[in-house]
Structure 1
Amino acid sequence: MILRKKRVKPMRIQDITIIDDVKLKKAITAAALGNAMEWFDFGVYGFVAYALGQVFFPGANPGVQMIAALATFSVPFLVRPLGGLFFGRLGDKFGRQKVLSVTIIIMSASTFCIGLIPSYASIGMWAPMLLLAAKLAQGFSVGGEYSGAAIFVAEYSPDRKRGFLGSWLDFGSIAGFVLGAGFVVFISSIVGEHNFLEWGWRIPFFLAAPLGLIGIYLRNALEETPTFQQHIDTIDKDAKSSLQAPPKVSFREIAATQWKSLLSCVGLVIATNVTYYMLLTYMPSYLSHSLHYSENRGVLIIIAIMAGMLFVQPVIGLMSDRYGRKPFVICGSIGLFLFAIPCFIMINSGVIGLIFLGLLVLAVLLNAFTGVMASTLPAMFPTHIRYSALAISFNISILVAGLTPTLIAWIVEETQNLYMPAYYLMLVAVVGLLTGLYMKETANLPLKGAAPAAADKAEAKELLQEQYDNIEHRIEDIDNQIQQLEKKRQALAAQHPEIN
């Protein structure tokens, strides 16, 4: 049998994808809004955990009530890998846009339903069971939400702007937190603490309905990403020529071929989201329960911190396009390790200015991770398995992060040591540092298995020239290696009488 070599055609300007600016803005808006919807619920849940504890677990003491409410927050993370596996397969087969339209429907509906659940006093054990069912539905849908949204933005972004544009996804996350927290404070201040515990806590969850409708409208109006569409066109062409369907890729095969990328993904997600949940979900309860601040006062501090994060977030993304993603992961991890204890010393000082400063330092360090995560993770995997690989690895690693509020609340309650959160963050910082050191740099490079993408034709020409220059450098390196090998050969041959 004669094997014919597949002829590789030289890259031309037509092979570089020019991104439509109007479609790009729509894609970022729709993805960020859906992500804001997801984190709006997480924000509301964290800020009303004390109220939910009294409504759904009234027989327990205050400490156990808070732990139980946060446990209900954490349990849905157990089903997120299942959601990631389910929606990841669908996303790689049918497209990113279709899956994201489904996840936002489930997410907004389940959040809205939390506000409808009667209290424990009305229906007994059915109340916490229904709460858990709604949270499990959320967890399943969220399993495909963030991964799909990050991929959607990454596949729509020009290579040179992927860090900046990807940072707006977590801008939506933080904005969702701010909206959720602000709404909780607003409703609580209007209706009073007694009425808030009676019925006012339900109102923030009802806001999920209009937000979800807007998100559904925006996502249904989107077109599929250029990268995935190219992938589908290639598959169709190959299938017609070979009369065979493309082979299915199992997670075992993904793990065997992409294990380095999977480990980098897991490490970055753990470092980012443990810090995220510690600061934005656990700290409101820490300030109110452990430090005995009024709920509104603690929430206002966190709101101010998150508002500051909104300004830092796109700046980190923009700088990562220039200096790379790795430096921010490494510096953020080192900073977290060095400043975790000093920050909690300030937080526990009782001085409002020092409390604010301690939380602000942690928030800026968190920005170092969130500013690059959405642009880094999708670039680790090739197009045909990107959704499946990222969704599964992301949601498996987020199991660790999702347990953070419950685990830390329990540890602090058992040990009565208010510095346990700092030690926990130091451990996570080590994971982040190792990840930053060993992960591959992806800034300004095309996505794996995809053609280069540019913002306009002038940038496409520059990318093409860079591609040619890179090929020339690689050929020069190979030529140098050949010369060195030839010298070694000659030196060895000179020692043998029968080899010239």
Structure 2
Amino acid sequence: MSDNGTPSTLVRERDIHVVDQKKMKKALRATLLGNFMEWYDIGVFSYVMTYITLHFFPLPAPWDGLASFATLAVTFLVRPLGGLILGPIGDRIGRKKILAFTIIMMSLGTFLIGCLPTYQQIGVLAPILLILLKFVQGFSTGGEYAGAATFIAEYSSDKRRGFWGSFLDLGSYLGFAASAGLVTILELATSDAQMESWGWRIAFWVALPLGLIGLYMRSNIDESHAFEVVQESRETKSGAAVARGEAPTTAADTSMKTQVSYLFRHFWPQILMGSALVMCAQVVGYALTTFMPTYLTDTLGYDTTHGNALLVPVLIIVSVGLPIFGSISDRIGRRPVMITGCIVGVVLAIPAFSLMMMGSTWSTLAGLMIIGVIMMFQVSIQASALPSLFPTASRYTAMGLMFNIAVGLFGGTTGFVITALQSILGTDYAGAYYIMFACVVGGIGVFCMKESAGRNLLGSMPVVDEKHEVKEVIATLEENEKYDLSTMPIEDYADSGDRDDDEDTEGTGDRSGKESV
């Protein structure tokens, strides 16, 4: 018997899922491209905002710029709605179908922005169409990261979830770096008149072929095994589970209202903890990617081309380094990595801004790199730590709700908040102060959360990389503190007596049962 009273003999070799490494990498490439697309869109719009303002918002200053920023903000305001609607659908019909939908909608919306006629051509209809397309992008983005993180967390093994999950954000920041690089190349390759007339559109047109490639890749991957197990379980269970306060189990019980109600009743502490982690990571991330281009030009005096160029090497180095931090978290734990990042953020945020204010290229790069390192500690862990807070049957809904609301409130508003603080406090260190505050909030969230490295996902059986690990897991299941049988979907075979005892069956994890929460 295990400590919680559950007979460990109910867990057999066939219940332990062995990851197919080829399928794992195939799924990773497909999801990574979607996150690349998400941040590519944000980056392109930010870097060509001067031309967007000129062609769609010919208003007197400062209303022209404010209108462009408000249009960008639409993406973030709509994200929670997208997560709220797409999350429950993803928990009902599968992760891969929703991810195929989100990538084509994101890329199509970006492409069509590059095709829009201007205000000078069709009048007020031009900005209206632009805002509608940003609405479409924001809605689809609301299901993108939440679904991708859920999908990869369920696809990967317990021991390497941090490593594989970190690649999602690698794709995100490479997407932003790619947008900065492409816009910089276009500005250098065209005259001012050409860039103003049609050059800016090219950056948006690139999105469509990328989206079609992503759609093909996502349409040819297998659904996550953990979700398939839940689906099989739903086919044999009734809606009575909800009445007992348990996780929704049937398709009818995965409606938006039921899922959200269930999550807020039983997982409100996890929602708060997750929101704190998201705030910390996203404030630092958006400070680097969306606030710094303006800070480098308006405050530090760099021209637009050189300001953009300074960010490209920093973003590339940060992106490549994320899997290193993810791998470290698999070895020493998510909490030590994140709490270290919070401490580093509090201590080094002000020195980072001081370096940038020195005025030389090397010191500016050094300051940007310090902020990048602070971000790496947090962002690299998100895709593995956040999905671990919620059960399989409701994970996509929870991620879509919690992540997107937190990003909308704290990530998308980072530039606005820092700019307002600069005005109120009268100091160019306002960005450092806000980063420090976010790290304190994130540290509180880390302190309250349980360690998830090397552990089975809530509502899922153990997952391993190699077949030889299956016997080891079975042999040490009761003694291994990382595994909690009460969270695994183990059926009560004691009453049925029809359990197949064939130990020679390879670990496929195709048995499922009650998802205890």
**TM-score when scaled to structure 1?**
0.89
TM-aligned CA distance change 1:294 to 1:369, over 3 Å? same
**What's the CA shift string for 1:25-53, capped at 9, x where partnerless?**
11100000011011111111222223323
What residue identity is the alignment partner of 1:193? D
The structural deviation recorded for 1:64 is 5.1
Give 3-state SS (helix, strand or coil) of 1:390's partner: helix
Which residue in 2 is equivalent to 1:134?
133
More helix by share: 1
**What's the CA shift string for 1:348-377, capped at 9, x where partnerless?**
221111111000000011011111100111
- 1:344, 1:419 within 8 Å by CA — same for their partners in 2? yes
Unpaired runs of 5+ residues, structure 2, are 242-248, 486-517
Q: For 1:471 and 1:263, how far apart are their aligned partners in 2?
A: 25
TM-aligned CA distance change 1:181 to 1:468, over 3 Å? same
Q: For 1:298 and 1:408, how far apart are their aligned partners in 2?
A: 18
Which residue in 2 is equivalent to 1:435?
445
Q: For 1:173 and 1:288, how far apart are their aligned partners in 2?
A: 24
Rg larger for:
1
TM-aligned CA distance change 1:194 to 1:336, over 3 Å? farther
Give 3-state SS (helix, strand or coil) of 1:160's partner: coil
Match of 1:403 among 399, 413, 428: 413
Match of 1:268 among 255, 270, 277: 277
Which residue in 1 is equivalent to 2:428?
418
What residue identity is the alignment partner of 2:288? L
Unpaired runs of 5+ residues, structure 1, are 476-500
Match of 1:247 among 253, 259, 265: 253
TM-aligned CA distance change 1:215 to 1:128, over 3 Å? same
Which residue in 2 is equivalent to 1:53?
53
Pair 1:371-2:375 in alignment:
no
The structural deviation recorded for 1:65 is 4.2
The structural deviation recorded for 1:246 is 6.2
**What's the CA shift string for 1:331-358, capped at 9, x where partnerless?**
1112112222211121122111111100
Pair 1:70-2:69 in alignment:
yes
Which residue in 2 is equivalent to 1:445?
455
TM-aligned CA distance change 1:453 to 1:472, over 3 Å? closer
- 2:235, 2:250 within 8 Å by CA — same for their partners in 1? no
Q: For 2:364 and 2:443, how far apart are their aligned partners in 1?
A: 26
- 1:67, 1:410 within 8 Å by CA — same for their partners in 2? no
The structural deviation recorded for 1:465 is 2.9
Which residue in 2 is equivalent to 1:305?
314
Match of 1:465 among 475, 488, 504: 475
Moved more, 357-366 or 462-471: 462-471
- 2:455, 2:482 within 8 Å by CA — same for their partners in 1? no
The structural deviation recorded for 1:57 is 2.7
Q: For 2:251 and 2:43, how far apart are their aligned partners in 1?
A: 44
The structural deviation recorded for 1:471 is 7.3
Which residue in 1 is equivalent to 2:288?
279
Moved more, 223-232 or 196-205: 196-205
- 2:107, 2:208 within 8 Å by CA — same for their partners in 1? yes
- 1:70, 1:405 within 8 Å by CA — same for their partners in 2? no
Moved more, 342-351 or 20-29: 342-351
Give 3-state SS (helix, strand or coil) of 1:227's partner: helix
Moved more, 244-253 or 425-434: 244-253
Q: For 1:176 and 1:238, how far apart are their aligned partners in 2?
A: 43
The structural deviation recorded for 1:233 is 1.0
- 1:47, 1:285 within 8 Å by CA — same for their partners in 2? no
**TM-score when scaled to structure 2?**
0.86
Which residue in 2 is equivalent to 1:488?
none
What residue identity is the alignment partner of 2:378? F
Pair 1:354-2:360 in alignment:
no
Q: For 2:464 and 2:389, how far apart are their aligned partners in 1?
A: 19
TM-aligned CA distance change 1:412 to 1:72, over 3 Å? farther
Moved more, 382-391 or 196-205: 196-205
The structural deviation recorded for 1:250 is 3.4
The structural deviation recorded for 1:109 is 0.8
Identity level (%): 38
Q: For 2:250 and 2:417, how far apart are their aligned partners in 1?
A: 50
Q: For 1:200 and 1:181, how far apart are their aligned partners in 2?
A: 14
Q: For 2:369 and 2:69, how far apart are their aligned partners in 1?
A: 24
**What's the CA shift string for 1:377-419, capped at 9, x where partnerless?**
1111001111111111111111121122233345546766322
Pair 1:175-2:174 in alignment:
yes
Moved more, 137-146 or 342-351: 342-351
Q: How is 1:81-120 mapped onto 2 (pairs within 5 angstroms)? A: 81-120=80-119
The structural deviation recorded for 1:256 is 1.3
